[in-house]
Homo-oligomer: A and B are copies of this chain.
C-alpha cells in the first residue's frame, strides 16, 4: 500500500480528545476546542471525512496566522424581531452557528420563524448536525452556506460558483428527512483524490480550464467542478449563493476566501433558519410524513430499499459510534503531533 493511504481505526472519544488537544495547542480554550473537535468528528462518524479531521490542520494554520480567533464570542444583533445578524468575530464555525441556533430557536418559538445571517465566522463543516439540532426541538431547520469558487456556470468557463451547500431537516418521530448536499457534482476533495491516484474521472464531474468536459483529473484541478444536474443545478447553486450574499453582505464566488487557505480573512456567509411547525397549526414529528417516507423506502427496484435523505448518514453514524472509524495514518500522526504541542506547552490545559 502506498504511503499516505494507510489508515488506523479510531473511536469517537479518542478522536475528539486528540482533535481538541490539537486545537488547544494552537491557542483554543477547552470549550471552543471541544465544540469544533466534536463537529469535525461528527462528519467522520457520518461517513463524510471530507468535512472531518482533515479540515483541522487548516484551522490551526489560520489560528497561527492570526486569521481565526478561536476564543471569539459572536456578536448577536436583532435587526428585526425575526432577523438576527451574527458577526462571528473570526471565530470557529460551530461556535458561531450553535450560538445563533440557540437564539433563533428561542425566538422562533414566539414568532414562528427566525433567520440568522452569519458573517466573519469560519467553516461550518457538515450542515446536518445543525439542522438536526433544530429538528430535535420541533423546528424545520435550514442552513445555506457560500463557499470558495470551485464550480463553473452552466455553459461558462472558470470556477465562478461556490459549491454552495444546502442543509434541511424536516423531523418526524423516527428521524425524518435530513438533506445535506452541495450543489457541485462532486467535492473538490474527491477530484484531488482521483488525481493523486491517477484515475480517470467519471463523465460529468468536471471541465478543464477552457470549460471543456474532461475525465482528466489533473486537468480538472486546473478547471472547475461541474454543477450537479446541469442547468438546473447551476441555477440552484447560483441562487443559494445569492441569498447568502445578499442577506449577509459577504462575498460571491471567486471573492470567497478563508476556509481552504491560510492567508485570507474569511469572506463567506451562512444563513440559518428555524421554522416552528406548531406556529402553523401543525404537529411537529408528522406521522403522515413518516408514513410517506416508508412508502418511498419500500419502492426500490428488485426489492432493494430506497434511501431517504439522512438514512445513510444515520446508519453510518450508528455503526461508527459503536465500532469506530478509519483515519488516514498521516493525518492522525499530524493531529497527534499538534496535540503533543499542547501537552508540552507550559501554560497548556490538559484535554
B-binding residues in A (CB < 8 A): 77, 79-83, 85, 110-115, 117, 140, 152-158, 160-161, 166, 168, 170, 176-177, 179, 181, 210-212, 228-230, 232-233, 235-236, 238-239, 242-243, 245-249, 251-254, 275-277, 279-282, 286, 288-289, 292, 295-296, 299-301, 304, 306-309
A151 to chain B, nearest CB (A): 11
Residues of B within 8 A of A235 (CB): 179, 181, 309
Given contacts A155-B301, A233-B233, A249-B282, 4 further A-B contacts (CB under 8 A): A85-B280, A113-B113, A156-B300, A245-B286
How many copies of the polypeptide does the oligomer hold?
A: 2
Residues on B with C-beta less than 8 A from A79 are: 112, 279-281
CA distance A291 to B121 in the complex (A): 24
Complex interface: chain B residues within 8 A of A232 (CB): 181, 228-229, 233
Contacts of A307 in B (CB 8 A): 155
How far does the Cβ of A58 sit from chain B's closest Cβ, in whole Å?
A: 25
Question: Chain B contacts of A247 at CB under 8 A?
Answer: 140, 275, 277, 280, 282
In the complex the two chains form, is B140's CB within 8 Å of A299's CB? Answer: no
Mind listing 30 A-B residue pairs with CB under 8 Å? A79-B279, A79-B281, A80-B113, A81-B81, A81-B82, A83-B112, A83-B275, A83-B279, A83-B280, A115-B280, A140-B246, A156-B301, A157-B301, A161-B296, A170-B242, A177-B239, A179-B239, A181-B236, A210-B301, A228-B232, A229-B230, A238-B308, A245-B286, A245-B288, A245-B289, A245-B292, A249-B280, A252-B288, A252-B289, A252-B292
The docked-state distance in angstroms from the alpha carbon of A79 to that of B280 is 6
Bound: A248/B253 CA distance, A: 35
Identify the 6 closest CB pairs spanning chains A and B, nearest first.
A229-B229, A83-B112, A80-B112, A156-B299, A83-B279, A80-B279
A249 CB to closest chain B CB (Å) equals 5
Q: Give every chain B residue within 8 A of A153 (Cβ-Cβ).
A: 296, 299-300, 306
**Contacting pair B280 A112 (CB below 8 A):** no
Q: A153-B299, A238-B308 are in contact. Are A246 and B282 (CB under 8 A)?
A: yes
Chain B residue numbers with a CB within 8 Å of A160 are 295-296, 299
Most buried by B among A152, A161, A254, A309: A309
How far, in angstroms, from A53 to B95 measured CA to CA in the complex?
52
Q: A199 → chain B, closest Cβ, in Å?
A: 21
What's the Cα separation between A235 and B110 when bound, in Å?
31
**Contact for A239 among B154, B168, B242, CB less than 8 A:** B168
Complex formed: what's the CA distance from A98 to B332 in Å?
Answer: 57
